[in-house]
């Protein structure tokens, strides 16, 4: 089948820089999905993006759908024809629907009978007819939280749209997207590029924009050029750049023709905390600070101009003039904030509402302090550090620096606490209270910081859940999923063996919300955290599956460390040869007990060894007694792997019992005793996890 390359470019006003890469990736996915739904074969799909455009190039796109046979099933033959073999209304209606005579219909025999059948060849549609709709639907599906309208158009997009290219081979695909007719003309750099660049074919697109438009349209190429340029400029300045992937992505999204420039600022500003300088340069100006070989910041920065200026010195001076007042403001806040000791701001917290219905920041601080004390006691730590840090933790929210740089909350509190003479451990804990701030972020390193971070997140979770504002669908305005994941990571990765259920209960009990069922809130929140734990484990541990997790969850471990240890034991157990048989036996045991109303009974029947008359049940009973003596202390010691391997030794007597013994015997006494034996067996089998929920792979 004939193929050609296809180019779609949507030209817009400047797109949101922080979203540009995700928009490009989503556009690629949307086009791929649309082509697959349309049954159009294709080769590689490449995405392109710059501040004023989104584009895709599809290589080797089939120019036409394959013809396909379409079958329609009609009424059963015995309904389609009467006793004289004449077509009924049902047959005539079906034939009319298909546009043929009844005599032209075929028949299909199945196990359920014989049916009328119409088969026809549906001609494949031309790609040129389908492509405008595929592109439009892909753009409409982009993850844009807020769309806008412009002019007198009804179309909506993240920014006003100004031009459109739909080019299949060297031919323009006729069509309209968001009120713009397709053409083969693009636009270059806003100041240095041509505003009417002819694109002869998709293969010419990248080079035409580079040579005629002063635009490096390939996002990855442009980003690498920026990385190389920034690193080279930093080396020339005697250091290395400070900047994460997000900053490089954002600068890439802000430029079409990046040109590096090195600027400087006064050395006096180096007396500020590094975090303040970095935040000022990166968040406010998208500059790259430079750190010297000794680890100290240098009084220089690197910025990326979006053009090749004839007077780069003036561009550099302009950037330096912008940053000086920013740093001067930061210096003013730094000096002014320290004139009031952090501890003296606690009373002012009473004047600031934390969240409507949950009291003030002072109230929250006191709740966190109480939780920190509880957690410290559980961990055998001196609660003084965490509780003092909790009292001071939110005070920096009242400072000028945090008011100007909200991202520095906690960090500035740590500096101001140290300046006020607070214990070093207290200052460190304050600085770590919000960790981890995002996925993959570092965890608090100090014991006080870990306790404070968990207490803070639990209070936030409990408060918002008590208000009835738990996350719904994709909406999570309070960041509760992130808070829950933070609790999970700290407890599991740092092996903090606390009773999470009791801690959640304590956090909920402190919330100043009346009228809610605190028990229901507690259980809902605990399950919410376990749901996040499940996602976390399944995403990060390839050897685990949902069945293993649910097997452990059925035991409701109150400690996530305990949960993790049980899960590891289940993962080992499921690989044993005995796992298949024991999991099946446990499931069968549960079913028998459930049907006999014994499984959930709060009055278990006592087992009478004297009524064990069958050899198989006596052997199982003694094997269980011996196993229990070994397994119970192992479970108490959390030696779950050893316990489950010992449990596996019950396979032979369990299999023999189900092969040879009729549980539901006619004799009531025997039946009741055997049910009691099964109840004891199940209690033993689910000691670590409910293995009836497992489906081990059989050999």
pLDDT confidence tier of residue 99, bands split at 50, 70 and 90? confident
* Every domain range in the chain assigned CATH 1.10.3210: 344-540
pLDDT confidence tier of residue 452, bands split at 50, 70 and 90? very high
481 vs 583, residue with greater confidence? 481
Express as a percent the part of the chain with pLDDT over 70: 98
pLDDT confidence tier of residue 165, bands split at 50, 70 and 90? very high
The predicted pLDDT at position 21 comes to: 95
pLDDT confidence tier of residue 598, bands split at 50, 70 and 90? low
With a cut of 70, say whether residue 604 has pLDDT above it: no
Q: What is the mean pLDDT of residues 76-103?
A: 86
The predicted pLDDT at position 343 comes to: 93
Express as a percent the part of the chain with pLDDT over 90: 71
Closest CA to 426 of 343, 488, 484: 343
Contact call for residues 470 and 528 (beta carbons, < 8 A)? yes
Q: Give the rounded distance of the alpha carbon of 272 from its chain centre.
A: 36
Superfamily of domain 3-65+126-213: ACT domain (3.30.70.260)
The predicted pLDDT at position 599 comes to: 61
The predicted pLDDT at position 698 comes to: 52
What distance, in Å, lies between the first and last C-alpha atoms of the chain?
A: 46
Contact call for residues 365 and 374 (beta carbons, < 8 A)? no
With a cut of 70, say whether residue 24 has pLDDT above it: yes
The predicted pLDDT at position 602 comes to: 54
268 vs 597, residue with greater confidence? 268
Measured from the Cβ of residue 67, the count of other Cβ atoms closer than 10 Å reads 10
Q: What is the mean pLDDT of residues 380-387?
A: 95
Q: What is the mean pLDDT of residues 655-679?
A: 87
Contact call for residues 189 and 214 (beta carbons, < 8 A)? yes
- Whats the size of the chain, residue-wise? 699
- Per-chain mean pLDDT for the chain: 92
pLDDT confidence tier of residue 611, bands split at 50, 70 and 90? confident
With a cut of 80, say whether residue 1 has pLDDT above it: no
* Every domain range in the chain assigned CATH 1.10.730.10: 565-693
Query: pLDDT tens-digit profile of 130-142?
Result: 999 999 999 999 9
The predicted pLDDT at position 495 comes to: 96
Query: pLDDT tens-digit profile of 455-488?
Result: 999 999 999 999 999 898 878 889 999 999 999 9
Element (H, E) at 361: helix 361-379
What's the fold here for domain 344-540? Answer: Hypothetical protein af1432 (1.10.3210)
List Cα–Cα distances, 687 to 302, 343, 554, 577, in angstroms.
61, 50, 11, 19
The predicted pLDDT at position 120 comes to: 81
List Cα–Cα distances, 503 to 57, 137, 380, 510, 651, in angstroms.
54, 48, 15, 11, 39
Query: pLDDT tens-digit profile of 229-248?
Result: 999 999 999 999 999 999 99
The predicted pLDDT at position 141 comes to: 93
Superfamily of domain 565-693: Isoleucyl-tRNA Synthetase; Domain 1 (1.10.730.10)
* Every domain range in the chain assigned CATH 3.30.70.260: 3-65+126-213
With a cut of 90, say whether residue 44 has pLDDT above it: yes
Closest CA to 40 of 101, 109, 129: 129
Query: pLDDT tens-digit profile of 305-360?
Result: 998 888 989 999 999 999 999 999 999 999 999 999 999 999 999 999 999 999 99
């Amino acid at each position: 089948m004939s193929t050609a390359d296809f180019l779609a470019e949507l030209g817009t006003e400047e797109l949101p820089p922080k979203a540009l890469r995700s928009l490009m990736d989503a556009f690629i996915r949307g086009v791929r999905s649309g082509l697959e739904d349309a049954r159009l074969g294709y080769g590689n799909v490449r995405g392109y993006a710059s501040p004023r455009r989104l584009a895709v190039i599809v290589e080797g796109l089939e120019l036409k759908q394959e013809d396909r046979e379409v079958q329609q099933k009609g009424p059963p033959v015995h309904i389609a024809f009467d006793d004289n073999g004449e077509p009924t209304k049902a047959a005539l209606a079906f034939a009319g629907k298909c546009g043929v005579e009844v005599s032209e219909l075929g028949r299909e025999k199945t196990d359920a009978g014989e049916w009328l059948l119409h088969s026809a060849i549906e001609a494949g549609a031309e790609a040129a007819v389908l492509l405008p709709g595929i592109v439009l639907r892909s753009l409409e599906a982009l993850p844009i939280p807020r769309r806008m309208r412009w002019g007198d158009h009804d179309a909506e997009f993240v920014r006003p749209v100004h031009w459109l290219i739909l080019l299949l081979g060297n031919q323009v695909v006729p069509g309209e997207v968001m009120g713009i007719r397709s053409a083969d003309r693009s636009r270059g750099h806003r100041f240095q590029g041509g505003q009417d660049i002819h694109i002869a074919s998709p293969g010419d697109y990248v080079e035409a924009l580079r040579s005629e438009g002063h635009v490096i349209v390939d996002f990855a190429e442009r980003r690498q050029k920026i990385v190389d340029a920034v690193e080279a400029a930093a080396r020339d300045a005697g250091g290395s750049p400070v900047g994460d992937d997000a900053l490089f992505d954002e600068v890439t999204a802000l430029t079409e023709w990046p040109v590096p420039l090195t600027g400087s600022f006064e050395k006096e500003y180096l007396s500020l905390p590094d975090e303040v300088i970095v935040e000022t340069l990166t968040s406010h100006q998208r500059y790259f600070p430079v750190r010297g070989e000794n680890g100290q910041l240098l009084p220089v920065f690197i910025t990326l101009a979006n053009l090749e200026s004839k007077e780069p010195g003036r561009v550099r001076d302009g950037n330096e003039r912008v940053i000086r007042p920013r740093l001067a403001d930061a210096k003013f806040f730094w000096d002014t904030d320290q004139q009031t000791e952090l501890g003296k701001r606690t009373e002012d917290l009473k004047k600031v509402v934390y969240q409507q219905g949950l009291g003030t920041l002072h109230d929250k601080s006191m709740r966190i302090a109480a939780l920190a004390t509880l957690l410290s006691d559980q961990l055998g730590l001196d609660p003084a550090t965490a509780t003092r840090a909790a009292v001071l933790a939110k005070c920096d929210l009242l400072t000028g620096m945090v008011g100007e740089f909200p991202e520095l909350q906690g960090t500035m509190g740590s500096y101001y606490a140290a300046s006020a003479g607070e214990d070093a451990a207290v200052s460190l804990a304050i600085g770590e209270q919000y960790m981890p701030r995002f996925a993959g972020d570092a965890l608090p390193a100090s014991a006080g910081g870990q306790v404070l971070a968990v207490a803070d997140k639990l209070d936030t979770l409990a408060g918002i859940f008590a208000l009835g504002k738990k996350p719904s669908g994709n909406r999570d305005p309070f960041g509760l999923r992130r808070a829950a994941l933070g609790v999970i990571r700290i407890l599991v990765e740092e092996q903090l063996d606390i009773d999470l259920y009791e801690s959640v209960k304590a956090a909920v009990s402190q919330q100043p919300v009346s009228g809610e069922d605190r028990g229901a809130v507690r259980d809902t929140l605990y399950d919410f955290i376990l749901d996040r734990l499940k996602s976390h484990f399944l995403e990060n541990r390839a050897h685990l599956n949902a069945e293993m997790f649910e097997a452990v969850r059925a035991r409701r471990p109150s400690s996530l460390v305990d949960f993790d240890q049980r899960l590891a034991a289940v993962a080992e157990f499921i690989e044993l040869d005995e796992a298949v048989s024991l999991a099946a036996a446990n499931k069968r045991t549960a079913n028998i007990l459930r049907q006999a109303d014994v499984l959930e009974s709060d009055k278990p029947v006592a087992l009478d060894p004297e009524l064990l008359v069958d050899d198989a049940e006596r052997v199982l009973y003694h094997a269980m007694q011996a196993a229990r003596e070994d397994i119970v202390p192992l479970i108490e010691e959390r030696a779950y792997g050893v316990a489950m391997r010992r449990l596996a030794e019950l396979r032979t007597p369990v299999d023999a019992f189900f092969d040879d013994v009729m549980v539901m015997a006619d004799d009531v006494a025997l039946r009741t005793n055997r049910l009691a034996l099964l109840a004891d067996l199940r209690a033993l089998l689910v000691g670590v996890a409910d293995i009836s929920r497992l489906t081990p792979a059989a050999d």
